Structure 1
Amino acid sequence: MGVLYEDVVLIREAENPGDPTVITVNCPDKTGLGCDLCRIILLFGLSISRGDFSTDGKWCYILFWVMGKPTTRWVLLKKRLLEVCPSYFSTTGIYYYQPENQQPKQPDVFLLKFWCSYDRKGLLHDVTEVLCELELTIKRVKVSTAPDEKVMDLFFVTDTRLALDFEAFSLVSFQSIHVPRISVNSFTPCASCMWDPQLAVAQLARPPPFVLGGWGMGWGHVVRFGTYIHVPLGSRVRVSLERFSPFSLGKWFIQLRFFIRELLHTKKRQEETIHHLKAALDDIMISCEIELAGPEFTACSQGSPFLPSAITEDMFCLELAKGCPSGCLTSNSVSVTMDNTLSPSHTLVRILCQDHKGLIYDIMRTLKDYNVQVSYGRFFANSKGNCEVELFITQADAKKVIDPSKQNALCSRIRMELSRPLRVAVISRGPDTELLVANPVELSGRGRPLVFYDIALALKILNTNIFSVEIGRHMICGREWEVYRILLEEGNSCSLPKKKLQEGVRNRLMGWE
């Protein structure tokens, strides 16, 4: 029978200050689900203090104990967690028609351009905080300070909030003596999905009258042939077909098409973004514009393809050396062991390490990249910041990890990812000081959440202003990295020792402050 849509994710908020909030996920399983869930939890700025995983290969049950904040938007968090949970239909054998060889559409990139009358402490952090709250993903940033102290910010962003454009039209044969009418009702929030919102094309060919869905609710507005309807993604939609004549001598066909696009295309979403930015920047904002980034803007957004050769080898080395290079973020010690004797069908991975921000996400994204399935697992962090993780895993073929070379490769990668989840360096670029932060990109193409937000916050606390920023992706040592290059203002950066600057940014990124 499955689980009601509302019960797939349940959140029981903490009753007393300091107590954890419990998140329960009960849905069909898929490889990488734990990574997707942990990434969203990290995106909302929450830390996981305890976790339990269990699955039979088709259905999973997951519990997270998270430490929240007074400003945490739990309703929105539940909605985002629901979006990454597989549909119930994935376990029933019910599939929907999709065109063959259809490539996933890349999200549209928008240029957010605004001028401020002068620079002030924490300006970039305040802008970044607003964009994160609006769920706009920052892809590139170009911040420049003019000689007259005016600031021009160029943010290249994508919108994670999507909407569904719905098109319906009819093909009626010449023998028909009636005209079909198509009605659409949309309801939010979604209580039960009868079709996949990612559906590209659905074609129906049945004699009238016919009802697709059938929730028994009132009629909505009439959609005539070729008309588009804008429906928020995640809404429940009923499509009903009605004939005007009681007789029909021929056949008729209805074609339904669903188009997904970003909400930032709409005027309302753009006005909302500008309004929040003006509220955060008070009266120093001179102007603000949002437009779809064209080729000329995309060219300007590309970061420099060259990185300083002096730090490339040390920062992006994929092997752990006895002496860690300067600038690496490392936990005190990481122990990763494998055992095939405790379970007849699973390999036990035991991890002992120091806790840091996004620890479970780092473990899960590594397993996802290796196409490893977690069948059972638990995680616990004590008050001293020490963590213990036990995971029963299988390979993609549902077998244990027996090959010693595969065991060593997986253990080494987990150990490296937990010891050095991010790379930080402070270097001199001529007379200027430059801060470099790099994090590995998932094979799915997603970078680590909130990295730029934490960098901007750390520099604000250290009373260090930013002159310009470049964010780009680079293929280094056969792996894609997201690299943040922040050029600091001379006056502030010169007065602060490089070691203190590096430690301040490192501790903020690792959640050790």
Structure 2
Amino acid sequence: MGFPSDDIVTIKLGQHGDPTLISVNCPDKLGLGADIARIILEFGLIIVRADLSTDGKWCFGLFWVHPAEGISKNIRWAPLKKLLVRACPPTRPHLLLPQFQIPKPTQSYLLRTLSMDNVGLLNEITLVLWELEFRVHKMIASVTPDGKAVTMFCLTDSRELLHEKRRQDDLCIRLKSILGEQTSDCVVTPAGTEWGELDCTTFLSAASTSLMDVCSHDAQGVGKLRIDVDNSLSPGHTLLQICCKGRRGLMYDCMRTLKDFQIQIAYGRSATNGKGDGEIDLFILHGDGKKLVDPVKLKNLCSRLEDEILQPVRIAIMDRGPDIELIVAASIGVCGQGRPRALHDITCILKALGICIFKADAGFYLIEDRRWEVYRFLFMEKPDVDLSSRQTQAQIAEKLRRKLLG
């Protein structure tokens, strides 16, 4: 059973617990592997094996995937396939020459909702936005003294249809079904200048230093990472080998790092064994078609790969006066896109733990010359749990880490 198409993307569903096979056959472009891995991660899937090959003009990729722990096995395969096809370059040349193709500016919109508050409300809203293919860039949420939840999202529409009333009505109808028809409000307007650009801004917070200075024992897979570079095996390519603990989003973090460094992949394979150890072998070239021989550039690449593999997400829970604050920071690439499903996964854990959110915000920031997507949450008091307890905070952080990277 599968989803046959025009051979750009095909999906063959796994049987009896076997992984599902996704094949992509399309023109090549710089960063295509990162775009594909991002979409696969966005649907809660883990890549357990992959094979990539390209001649510089055409790319063929095979990805064996299965749902991550805690993800429903009822994957929305049709939307996944549609997004993968959209990520591939067109098979026919564009009528306009590249120098005359003018990219359309991205229109951002402000979504405002008002409703009675309840546990998990923010998670339910983000799920609707994800299902309808909206991308959240900034978010502010708070609870008023009379128990009403106010949320504001600065978002863009992947379908580029939010300027149409039908699309706006569809969004608000879906949201009101979870907010409550009689007591809720939903408004969509073009985002004003007060929301700024969609780029990063400087993050000025006393917690930023402590957040970025995560102890080594908190890093995922510390002591199980090896990165080797070999220029002797191929006359035209550099061999990059990565051995580490397999986890959710590993392929995405590696691929987006290579994309940031303008590195092309000529051939690659990835596999995770029964013990959960992952191995990635990539024959790579710089964007100019040459091998990577500059020792400084190689050192910078390996250093960034180490950071992105071990700590793509950083978590801190701390006392903020009488309140408890959760901060989650996820590194983002040059493309400026945040980590897939991060807001949904964070709020999913808080909902499962029965934690009510008093105030929250999210946005892109520059911290120590790095680009991060930062989520901040202030918790309400929970009568049956001492949220100020270090043990409780450590348990919450571990559940979040397992959800985001498990």
Question: 1:445 & 1:308 partners in 2: Cα distance?
Answer: 21
Q: Map of 1:62-77 to 2, 5 A cutoff?
A: 62-68=61-67, 69-77=72-80
Residue 36 of structure 1: SS of its match in structure 2?
helix
Aligned letter for 2:185? S
Aligned letter for 2:266? S
Distance 1:292 1:453, change over 3 A: same
Question: 2:63 & 2:133 partners in 1: Cα distance?
Answer: 22
Counterpart contact for 1:328–1:422, Cα < 8 Å: no
Matched, 1:330 2:220: yes
Deviations 1:189-246 (A, max 9, x none): xxxxxxxxxxxxxxxxxxxxxxxxxxxxxxxxxxxxxxxxxxxxxxxxxxxxxxxxxx
Partner of 1:149: 147
From 136, 139, 159, give the equivalent of 2:137: 139
Residue 155 of structure 1: SS of its match in structure 2?
strand
Question: Structure 1-normalised TM-score?
Answer: 0.72
- Unpaired stretches in structure 2, ≥5 consecutive residues: none
Partner of 1:340: 231
Counterpart contact for 1:458–1:505, Cα < 8 Å: yes
Counterpart contact for 1:35–1:368, Cα < 8 Å: yes
Residue correspondences, number: 394
Counterpart contact for 1:140–1:302, Cα < 8 Å: no
Question: 1:98 & 1:302 partners in 2: Cα distance?
Answer: 25
From 177, 186, 190, give the equivalent of 1:279: 177
Residue 88 of structure 1: SS of its match in structure 2?
coil
How far 1:265 sits from its partner (Å)? 1.2
Question: 2:12 & 2:101 partners in 1: Cα distance?
Answer: 42
Residue 490 of structure 1: SS of its match in structure 2?
coil
Counterpart contact for 1:303–1:471, Cα < 8 Å: no
Question: 1:95 & 1:489 partners in 2: Cα distance?
Answer: 57
Aligned letter for 1:443? V
Partner of 2:7: 7
Q: Map of 1:30-429 to 2, 5 A cutoff?
A: 30-68=29-67, 69-90=72-93, 95-97=95-97, 100=100, 102=102, 104-117=103-116, 119-161=117-159, 262-282=160-180, 285-296=183-194, 298=195, 306-309=203-206, 311-316=207-212, 325=215, 328-332=218-222, 333-429=224-320
Residue 27 of structure 1: SS of its match in structure 2?
strand
Counterpart contact for 1:126–1:281, Cα < 8 Å: no
Question: 1:53 & 1:418 partners in 2: Cα distance?
Answer: 20
Aligned letter for 1:339? D
Aligned letter for 2:91? Y
Question: 1:141 & 1:327 partners in 2: Cα distance?
Answer: 31
Residue 162 of structure 2: SS of its match in structure 1?
helix
Counterpart contact for 2:176–2:185, Cα < 8 Å: no
Deviations 1:397-445 (A, max 9, x none): 2222222222222112111110111111112222111111111221122
The range that moved more, 64-73 or 436-445, is 64-73
Residue 274 of structure 1: SS of its match in structure 2?
helix
Counterpart contact for 2:201–2:364, Cα < 8 Å: no
Residue 383 of structure 1: SS of its match in structure 2?
coil
Distance 1:305 1:488, change over 3 A: farther
Partner of 1:498: 393
Aligned letter for 2:96? Y
Counterpart contact for 1:315–1:328, Cα < 8 Å: no
Partner of 2:27: 28
Residue 23 of structure 1: SS of its match in structure 2?
strand
Counterpart contact for 1:327–1:425, Cα < 8 Å: no
Distance 1:408 1:98, change over 3 A: closer
Aligned letter for 1:381? T
Question: 2:327 & 2:219 partners in 1: Cα distance?
Answer: 12
Distance 1:108 1:487, change over 3 A: same
Question: 2:376 & 2:57 partners in 1: Cα distance?
Answer: 43
Question: Structure 2-normalised TM-score?
Answer: 0.89
Question: 2:266 & 2:181 partners in 1: Cα distance?
Answer: 54
Aligned letter for 2:404? L
Partner of 1:229: none
Q: Map of 1:429-444 to 2, 5 A cutoff?
A: 429-444=320-335
How far 1:107 sits from its partner (Å)? 2.0
Residue 374 of structure 1: SS of its match in structure 2?
strand
Identity, % of aligned positions: 42
- CA RMSD after TM alignment: 2.6
Aligned letter for 2:192? G
Counterpart contact for 2:201–2:366, Cα < 8 Å: no
Partner of 1:167: none
Question: 1:151 & 1:284 partners in 2: Cα distance?
Answer: 15
Distance 1:301 1:430, change over 3 A: farther
The range that moved more, 140-149 or 365-374, is 140-149
Counterpart contact for 1:346–1:400, Cα < 8 Å: yes
Aligned letter for 2:212? F
The range that moved more, 56-65 or 275-284, is 275-284
Question: 1:483 & 1:401 partners in 2: Cα distance?
Answer: 33
Distance 1:384 1:347, change over 3 A: same
Distance 1:430 1:300, change over 3 A: farther
Aligned letter for 1:313? T
Counterpart contact for 1:113–1:289, Cα < 8 Å: yes
Counterpart contact for 1:114–1:285, Cα < 8 Å: no
Instruction: State which structure, 1 or 2, has the greater radius of gyration over its C-alpha atoms.
Output: 1
